[in-house]
Structure 1
Amino acid sequence: MSHEIDVERLVADLPRFELAKNNANALYREGKYQGAAQSYTRVIAEILGDETLHSDLNKLIECAKKSGITDERLSAFVATLFSNAALCRFQEKNIDEAERLWQTCLLIDENNYKAAYQLAQCCIQRKQYNDAMTCVRRCQTIADATFMDKSKTLPHAKLLDEIVRGINQEKAELNGMGCCDDIIAAIEAGDSVLDNLGKLDALRKEEIAGQRVLPRLFKIIVDKPDVIQNMELHAYMWTSIHLMYQNTEKYMGMEMMKQVEQAVKEHNFDLVQYAKDLMAHAHCKTDMSQLLRSLAYQFSRCCYDMGTAAALEAISVIIEHSDCSEENRLFFCVWQFFVHPRATDKLPLDDRFIPVIQRVLEIMLGRIDIDCNDERQEMVERCLVPVFMMKNVRYDITEEMVSDLAKRMLNGYITTSFFGTKTIQPQWYVIMRCLHLTNKKCFKEYVIENNVIVTMLECYMKVRPRVRHVSRLLINMSETILCCMDYMELRQLVVEAVVGRSSLVEFLRDDVELAKFLAETTGRDEEIDKYCKEGRYTFVDQPKVDQYRLIQEYKLLILAKMAVHCPQLAKEIFEIFELVSIIPMALVNAMIDGRRVDVMIDALSFVTLHAEAKRGDVVKHLQPLIRWAESSELCKGKTMFMVCQSLVNLTRSRNHRQGFNRDATADKMFDEEQMEAMRQAFEKLPAASKPLSNGEYDEGTEEEANRARKEMLALHEEIAKVLINISRRTIRDAPEGAGIAAQTLMLETLHYLTFPPENRTTMRAAGAMRCFLNAYISDTHKDTRRIRYFAQSMAHICFSSDPKTLKYSDAQDAAGPMVKLLGDSNELLQYEAALGLTNLLLVDDGVSERIWKMDAWDGFGNLLSSDNPQLKAACLEGWCNFASAVNHVQTRIYNKLGEQWERALKKLSKSGSTCCDRVWEAEDGDEEEDEHRTVPLLEVHDVNVMFMFAADDTDMRCVKASTGALAYLAHDLRVAKYLPMCSRYSSIITAADKIQDRDAMQRILTFFVCVLQGQIDSGPRFIKKYIANAKKEIRECTERNFAKIKDLGLTELAEEVRKYSDVANNLVS
């Protein structure tokens, strides 16, 4: 079956299809492969023009092959959908369907690299190695045709190794189960050792375990213990044992490791003694030293696989007797020992394990001294962090054990002189930093229990920065002080500590080196201002490290962190050091010089928490930082987070401090009124009774934040687009947790930037609408309070934009969030959502139709009972635009009026009061009886509400909106004929008498003209007479207000009223 495809329409709908694909991608990431595959095929079926195809894969593939899609964008998109659906089937182990889908993908888009690559993998799984080679060659052809980056190894090149291994494995299996015995016998005899080990490595893991290959290789080492004579053989054995154990499934890995441990016990093999012998030979045999050390490294790799106390002790022996040239790869073995995932269950603690860990740490820390280079310290720190985390060790270790180990080691690096003076060794600071990174509670416990803050500050104040070799020590000291200041209790101790007669603030105030640095920074103010304004920047990939300047920057960061402790201290620090001006200038200064900037970014994130930053010149120095965050590979992780934190601090006021990121669990416990009551109660507490929080600062007023928001977008015409790019990059370039936190901050920044009306056009043009839409539908934010603020930002953009300038797809997708926002408990959000939807109704009939289907009409109606006049006006304006844009409104009102009219007629018929036109014409004597009959008035709520608001001239905005809605409804003469029968109809006459506004009067006269044209064809005589009187009242109202109408320039409409009222009178007579 073939279907005609409207390519232009489909290309226009690509954004909607892309959204559906993203939703399917989300299902795939959640592991819901079947649902994801169905979603992909459903989109394909819609594109092909027959939505029933998605349930029949054969027909779908056949239709896709015959579709003849030629548009490059569309064909690439459809091919991607087929490829994604195939990947879902592949994950479900349905290789046949996956293969067919990928083949279809390549028929549609012959340059789809992923499909060719995945087909090769299917062939490898089927052991069809010739077909796999064909697919690999096709991958290479696609890579050449599409100019893929060949500076890196392309993925299909790695498949060649799998194909070769598979072929070798097939050959090995053909030789029978006795193959392993022959190979191992050949290795024992020394025949082609490398080739034979390669054959063993090509075997499946199950066969390696089943044939007990690892313990048999280990036995070769035991049987040939002379390391010097069999050095090469030992090296090959340890390397093979290590490689064969890699990439095994959990239970297979457990079995293989169990076999190795049994072999060690069976042969009574002493790992530690073996390591000692190796290093002794390496020391004595200088001509063979390099080869023996390489053998020691291969042995160390097997030791970290084993993960036992003896294995770690063997590694420690090798490290202890190695020189500096070997330490990096041996430290890597220690790191792997503690991060390598363990397939085996936890073992009871070996008594030697903790002492061995301590010994290893002491050996590594012994390599750090006052003259230690940065690379070595970073390597040691990288090893210490997983040691203190203690997650992947084979033994059952408690937090108390880790805490006791850390405290013992810390105490060992504090020395006391004869006179009682305490000195802290460089290793102490390294341990403290690593404990802080692992977020261990023993960090804070140790500082408080041992009262080390004063000792640490005393050492810090006594070090002279210009003395040779102490720069690294001062940096370590500064970083440790900053770590302590992350805790409120420890920051209090730092603030209150007195060394000699000076506090830390007083010491820094009198610091000559810091004063020189500040003078140097302020002396470059003209150069800095020029750099910030030029707008074109080139950033270095490898920043320089100037340790002297870095020490001074750490001092500024210490002051910035102290300033958040309490407002009084912040005021003192800002007055003395002028941090609000200095820190942004120092940051730009570092950028100009090509130095590292992370410390000053950290400082900026703290100083921008204060209102003073919004009043100062911080924003005008931000452009280089924003551009750097968008483009530099160095801006990632914590640094990116701090950049985003600085931006949100500058755009957030004290009013919004807790709104955007308030914990969703609080909403479940308390409603908005309860939360507000608790906040007010907290504010009334005496200062001494208020609980302390980790940071006391005032973010400033909404007016100050608005100023910063405007200034930020005024930096450059492209700044809004750059900020959106940063928001996208936060997820792309960061680990999941850190990326989400940074992106949330960026979304909050963008949210605040839409607050000033002047910014909204710029934000819309930059693509902020789509950014908020993507965040709204993201699984990351769907259960948080944040989505209401994303919807608020969409509303800001919608009601501040010309409907003609809004993208159709954005308008379509924004409708749902804003309709949902109408039901929020906050009246401001309801009001802004109503304004946004009112504007969206003017975009396009398709958008109006979508909003109608979401019950926005009732959403507006539910809010008309509010006490807020602005909210009521906005909702009535929504009704007015609905009536002008969607025929469904007239149909709905007509149906309701018609139903009530029919019920009224039936009721009159049952009571015997009904008389048709023919009877009415014959019985002229019944006119007196007609006057006493009760006319059944219609009670349609929505229409009566419009009449009521039309007559209330206290709010002209409501009057204009309601009269406009009535005028649009009356344009449908089906509706107009029933309107005089509505119970509140007289209100429109009252409105016409009272209202002096031209727009409202024009709409009322339009309403009159339409009502006069409406005619009820059937019904009792007394009802028709009632309608005739109502129309006569329209004429009289127009005549008595004619002078007003003439002054308003609406005489043409008045003449139309006269014209149609004459026609109506003739019909009645």
Structure 2
Amino acid sequence: MSDRSMRTYLDEKEVANEHFRAGEYLEASSLYTHTICKILEIKDENVSSIKECIDTYSYNLESQESRQFLSTLLCNLALCYSNLKMKEKMQILCETCLCVDDSNYKAAYHLAFHHLSTKEYNASLKYIQKCQQIVNGNFSLWKDKKQPHLDLVETLRRSIGKTGKAATTDCSIILRDILNGNALNLNIQRLLLVSPNELIKHDVFAKLVNLCCSKISEGIIDDTLANLWSVLYQLLYGSGDKNRSDLCKSFNASLVGKTVIVHVTEIFKLLEKSKSVSDTTKCTILEQSLTNITKLCSLLRTSESLEILYTLLDGANHKLEQQVLAAILVFFSEIGSISASSKFNVALAKILEHLISICDVENDIYKAQQLDACLIAIFKAGFGTDEIAVDAFGNLISRLANAYITKSANMDEHEGITLQPTWYIIVKSLFIANKPIFKSYIIANDIIRSLLVNFFRPNPSECSTELLQMYASQVIVNCMDFAEFRQQFIDFVLYETFLDHLTNGVKFVSFITKLGNAKDGHNYTSACPLQEYILLMLSKLSIHSIELKEEIVIRVNLFKILPNLLLLNMDKGYPIETSLECISYLSLHKEFKTANFSFIPPLLLFVERGGNNKVLLMACQIIVNLLRGNKDRSKFLNTNTVYDKEQLEALKNLQEKLPEMAKATINGHYFEGDHDMALKTRHYLFLIQENILASSMIKLSKKIEDKANPIYMLIIESLHYLALEQSHRRIMQSMGVLRIFINYATSNVNKDSSAFKHVSQSIAHICIAITPSNLSYNDAIDAVQPLVILLGDENEMFQYESAMALTNLLSINDDIKRRVFGLKGWQLFGNLIYSDNDMLKTVGLEGWCNLSAGEDVVHGFIYSQIIGQFLARDKESAFELNHADLNILLAFALEFNNEAAVTASTGALALLTRDLRIAQYIIFAKRFENILKALNAASSVPILHRILTILSCVSQAELKDAEEADKIHEKYIKELIKTEIKKNSHKYINKTLADLAAEI
């Protein structure tokens, strides 16, 4: 459905809803039916036509949103028929509704209620369970909502109780009736109402498994057989995580031995026999039984259940095979820790061997994906961390993979090797799932040379088609991730050098010739995955060493070709993953910072519209690579929790002192460009198409909820680099970038990480650049915490920028001041004042000044300290109170070689002495007379204004209940103030200063 048609349908739905709310069910049903038929593009507006069409059409709905909308319409129509007492139509529509969207709670509930009212208890229970599954699937949404299906459970329990008298929940009676064949289907369903503890206590699983096995042994094939296995599965599946472990233990005890395996084998035999006589009823029952056994084994996850899965896989037809593969995927995806045993290892080997045997390049895409997923899940599971278990698993994989390597006796040991298609499938999955085992396998079997020989074999044989070359290129690219194999690639020689042979192929030369000239794009009529993989090999090799990069670029100008390739692929709708991956490596080199960036805007629009995470990740990585300079490389690396900075530095120095041959071999030999080059690139990219880069990054960040997502981290990093340029900051803030930085900083648990510090630095940059009054209250208050944390960092640049930002924010209102003060901002600003750096001293004093402007934010704190000292003083220092903060401010009042510091310190004192509680005691501070000296030395009007304000407040304040000596000192100071005021009367050049002097 297009957006326009969706809006039309929504309007029509709202009209129908109004009729429904008014109780006009016939009119509402007619409108709902009309809209549904328009969506389905059918003319016959009746229930049967809708049902028939849904069976085929529902799978063609393009989005989950479309499915949910159609499902809602169907459900609303069903409720109309329910109110019109047309129960049969209601049932059909609700069932159809669940076919379209199996998470429609309302449809499942009404079906459960309908079947309960008609005393179809089995069906009712089925839909009650469906309701519970829907709730479990989105519990966060349902936890605070009423769940009406729970009321139906109690109603169902009472109804079954009346039907079966006292036997409803008595497990022993239910079990006895089942074993005796009394009301089998009803009693089987009653088991679902029994508690897990009762099931374990009465050994229900073993008895029911034996009953199933005995039925097959006796050749009895009826509905009960399928129902028994179905209920066994439902008991386990519906038990919840809390009880499932205990139920599994009880269940597994019933599987010990070969009973169920024999049972499965017998079912297969009976199935073949039933098919031969075309007995579809028995075939259906037997197939349902096998399906339920398959699903059951996926939950049990033991050696026995794995053996059963192997038996099922070995005898499965196409439909069952898909179900068994799905069960194997579930089994190994959630395996956790399983106790390794010889029985498990044997079953695992059988399963793996069978899976590998059915891997084929001719498989349809769905089966190929299923097999890949199963292999990856098994390889990823690992089965233990001890060295012996890992080695045994690695040896098993090696044995199975080597079975698909053929050797020719009369040829060179490498050139005589042929790697079969299945081998490539195995190692590709192994690389994705378990890189350590992949690497050890490649090394142990010395595969690299054989792999390259197969890729370059000049006379393609049956097993060396272009498809196999494609597979080989994918494995080669995977191997290039490991620095240990670098030299083997570089040293490989076959007829020509590796690079020459790679770049001189006729098809490849033709391919890059077209790409080299953008005007020839119209000749680019189909995707060339193999040629793109060759470009990916070259791109990966370019970061193996600087020299190798130079050799590659001489042969192929990757920096020109790859942007053109990406543009053409996007323009023509071809896959872009490989070309993007190439650029993600190339963009690490400084040369790419001068490449053609015309691919950036369409790429950003492409990822904004949606796509897979891999494309988004690589696109963001390219952007970050372009914005980085060489010194920025480690800014957003995760902090190593094992070693601190000093230890890491010591390890680095030790590594550099080692002989060349003893040094660790690594990839990553590239130079991203110096700081100036990075600055130019940032500015250029920022200006492209009216700031599309910053705008797109901000939009993408809002779509990602997980703040630990690597994509989110790359977006944050790119925004950080863009915000480093001062001219970008106001524009970026108008797009809402500050809130994104704040959200990341406040959600980051590791406040010591480099990423947190640099994001907090970006918050500081934005807060410095903008007018504080333009910030929202929430942004301003939330920005404080990361800035205060940054203020306490060791890095002087971080300290300075965060102090500047906080000083700016402090001018907003008293709430900000209280927040900063509450996070120990006063003390942290004070720490800066003790710095050797004059700029830090000044900004620390400015922070104190702005904090002092608040109504009783700092004043109470200063007053409580000075009054405490005043009351506790001794006679020797009665007039020399050593209040640290006030004395620091008084000391800086005379630092006229740093006028900004004098302005800030006198400003802070002026604001503090407005509180007459402080003003009355400040005259006892050790350095108070510095203010009078400052008055004599000052010539700046702003500084004079601050000094006169201080003296005015001191003159107004009066000591109360003071001792005689204190009163005399107060009088002396005030007389001294008057004298100094008169002496400097020539400086009061404006009315404000003159008025203050006169007031004093």
What range describes the TM-score normalised by the shorter chain of this pair? 0.7 to 0.9
1:448 is aligned to 2:407 = no
- Which AA in structure 1 matches 2:475? T
Which moves more between the two structures, 323-332 or 753-762? 323-332
| Residues 173 and 500 (structure 1), Cα distance of their counterparts in 2 relative to 1, 3 Å cut | farther
CA contact (8 A) 1:276 1:317 kept: no
Counterpart of 2:325?
A: 331
1:805 is aligned to 2:796 = no
1:376 corresponds to which of 367, 380, 383: 367
| Residues 199 and 783 (structure 1), Cα distance of their counterparts in 2 relative to 1, 3 Å cut | farther
Q: By how many angstroms is 1:867 displaced?
A: 0.9
Report the secondary structure of 2:897's partner residue.
coil
- Which AA in structure 2 matches 1:665? T
1:844 corresponds to which of 795, 810, 813: 813
Counterpart of 2:497?
A: 502
Alpha-carbon distance between aligned partners in 2 of 1:473 and 1:397, rounded to the nearest angstrom: 35
Counterpart of 2:668?
A: 695
Alpha-carbon distance between aligned partners in 2 of 1:465 and 1:1012, rounded to the nearest angstrom: 102
Q: By how many angstroms is 1:853 displaced?
A: 3.0
Alpha-carbon distance between aligned partners in 1 of 2:662 and 2:896, rounded to the nearest angstrom: 51
Counterpart of 2:678?
A: 705
Counterpart of 2:641?
A: 665
TM-score where L is the length of structure 2:
0.74
- Which AA in structure 1 matches 2:269? D
1:907 is aligned to 2:883 = no
Q: By how many angstroms is 1:481 displaced?
A: 1.4
CA contact (8 A) 1:849 1:886 kept: no
Alpha-carbon distance between aligned partners in 1 of 2:856 and 2:490, rounded to the nearest angstrom: 70
CA contact (8 A) 1:664 1:783 kept: no
1:591 is aligned to 2:591 = no
| Residues 455 and 1014 (structure 1), Cα distance of their counterparts in 2 relative to 1, 3 Å cut | same
TM-score where L is the length of structure 1:
0.69
Which moves more between the two structures, 689-698 or 285-294? 285-294
Which moves more between the two structures, 814-823 or 231-240? 231-240
Counterpart of 1:270?
A: 262
Alpha-carbon distance between aligned partners in 2 of 1:245 and 1:895, rounded to the nearest angstrom: 67
Report the secondary structure of 2:833's partner residue.
coil
Q: By how many angstroms is 1:527 displaced?
A: 9.3
> Residue deviations 1:372-418, cap 9 Å, x none?
4433322211111223344689x999222221111111211111224
Identity %: 26
Report the secondary structure of 1:415's partner residue.
strand
CA contact (8 A) 1:454 1:498 kept: no
* Ranges in structure 1 where 5+ consecutive residues have no aligned partner: 1-113, 144-153, 529-544, 909-933, 1065-1069
Counterpart of 1:954?
A: 897
CA contact (8 A) 2:620 2:711 kept: yes
Which moves more between the two structures, 374-383 or 466-475? 466-475
1:246 is aligned to 2:220 = no
CA contact (8 A) 2:394 2:441 kept: no
1:867 is aligned to 2:836 = yes
CA contact (8 A) 2:890 2:931 kept: yes
Counterpart of 1:536?
A: none
1:829 is aligned to 2:802 = no
Alpha-carbon distance between aligned partners in 2 of 1:961 and 1:898, rounded to the nearest angstrom: 24
Which moves more between the two structures, 545-554 or 429-438? 545-554
Which moves more between the two structures, 518-527 or 832-841? 518-527
CA contact (8 A) 2:236 2:244 kept: no
CA contact (8 A) 1:608 1:649 kept: yes
1:629 is aligned to 2:604 = no
1:485 corresponds to which of 472, 477, 480: 480
CA contact (8 A) 2:382 2:390 kept: no
CA contact (8 A) 2:213 2:263 kept: no
> Residue deviations 1:803-824, cap 9 Å, x none?
1011112222222332232222
Counterpart of 2:991?
A: 1052
Counterpart of 1:963?
A: 906
| Residues 709 and 312 (structure 1), Cα distance of their counterparts in 2 relative to 1, 3 Å cut | same
CA contact (8 A) 1:241 1:302 kept: yes
CA contact (8 A) 2:527 2:569 kept: no
- Which AA in structure 1 matches 2:508? L
CA contact (8 A) 1:580 1:607 kept: yes
| Residues 174 and 614 (structure 1), Cα distance of their counterparts in 2 relative to 1, 3 Å cut | farther
> Residue deviations 1:526-557, cap 9 Å, x none?
999xxxxxxxxxxxxxxxx9984222332222
> Residue deviations 1:625-669, cap 9 Å, x none?
33443441x333x444434433333333332322433425256x4
Report the secondary structure of 2:782's partner residue.
helix
- Which AA in structure 2 matches 1:635? N
> Residue deviations 1:99-137, cap 9 Å, x none?
xxxxxxxxxxxxxxx9x99xx9xxx9xx9xx9xx9xx99
Q: By how many angstroms is 1:223 displaced?
A: 3.9
Alignment of 1:917-936 (within 5 A): 936=879
| Residues 782 and 197 (structure 1), Cα distance of their counterparts in 2 relative to 1, 3 Å cut | farther
| Residues 232 and 508 (structure 1), Cα distance of their counterparts in 2 relative to 1, 3 Å cut | same
* Ranges in structure 2 where 5+ consecutive residues have no aligned partner: 1-102, 135-144
Q: By how many angstroms is 1:458 displaced?
A: 1.8
Which moves more between the two structures, 234-243 or 864-873? 234-243
Q: By how many angstroms is 1:685 displaced?
A: 8.3
| Residues 1005 and 413 (structure 1), Cα distance of their counterparts in 2 relative to 1, 3 Å cut | same
Report the secondary structure of 1:568's partner residue.
helix
Alpha-carbon distance between aligned partners in 1 of 2:652 and 2:340, rounded to the nearest angstrom: 49
| Residues 1038 and 857 (structure 1), Cα distance of their counterparts in 2 relative to 1, 3 Å cut | farther
| Residues 863 and 194 (structure 1), Cα distance of their counterparts in 2 relative to 1, 3 Å cut | same
1:387 corresponds to which of 368, 372, 378: 378
- Which AA in structure 2 matches 1:858? Q
| Residues 805 and 571 (structure 1), Cα distance of their counterparts in 2 relative to 1, 3 Å cut | farther
Alpha-carbon distance between aligned partners in 2 of 1:655 and 1:943, rounded to the nearest angstrom: 42
Alpha-carbon distance between aligned partners in 2 of 1:635 and 1:752, rounded to the nearest angstrom: 25
Report the secondary structure of 1:699's partner residue.
coil
| Residues 415 and 547 (structure 1), Cα distance of their counterparts in 2 relative to 1, 3 Å cut | farther
> Residue deviations 1:974-1001, cap 9 Å, x none?
6556656654345455555655655445
CA contact (8 A) 1:454 1:499 kept: no
Counterpart of 1:553?
A: 532
Counterpart of 1:356?
A: 350
Q: By how many angstroms is 1:843 displaced?
A: 0.8
Counterpart of 1:723?
A: 697
1:775 is aligned to 2:708 = no
2:398 corresponds to which of 407, 410, 413: 407
Report the secondary structure of 1:270's partner residue.
helix
| Residues 268 and 385 (structure 1), Cα distance of their counterparts in 2 relative to 1, 3 Å cut | closer
Report the secondary structure of 1:872's partner residue.
helix
Alignment of 1:739-778 (within 5 A): 740-778=709-747
Report the secondary structure of 1:569's partner residue.
helix
> Residue deviations 1:844-889, cap 9 Å, x none?
1221222233332222112211011111111111122123334444
CA contact (8 A) 1:414 1:428 kept: yes
1:714 is aligned to 2:687 = yes
CA contact (8 A) 1:349 1:397 kept: no
Alpha-carbon distance between aligned partners in 2 of 1:200 and 1:1002, rounded to the nearest angstrom: 89
Alpha-carbon distance between aligned partners in 2 of 1:523 and 1:549, rounded to the nearest angstrom: 17
Counterpart of 1:880?
A: 849
- Which AA in structure 1 matches 2:994? E
CA contact (8 A) 1:560 1:603 kept: yes
Counterpart of 1:459?
A: 454
Report the secondary structure of 2:418's partner residue.
strand
Q: By how many angstroms is 1:426 displaced?
A: 0.8
| Residues 995 and 676 (structure 1), Cα distance of their counterparts in 2 relative to 1, 3 Å cut | farther
1:1035 corresponds to which of 973, 976, 982: 982
CA contact (8 A) 1:381 1:434 kept: yes
Report the secondary structure of 2:641's partner residue.
helix
- Which AA in structure 2 matches 1:863? L
Alpha-carbon distance between aligned partners in 1 of 2:424 and 2:702, rounded to the nearest angstrom: 37
- Which AA in structure 2 matches 1:460? F
> Residue deviations 1:605-634, cap 9 Å, x none?
32233333334344x5333333443441x3
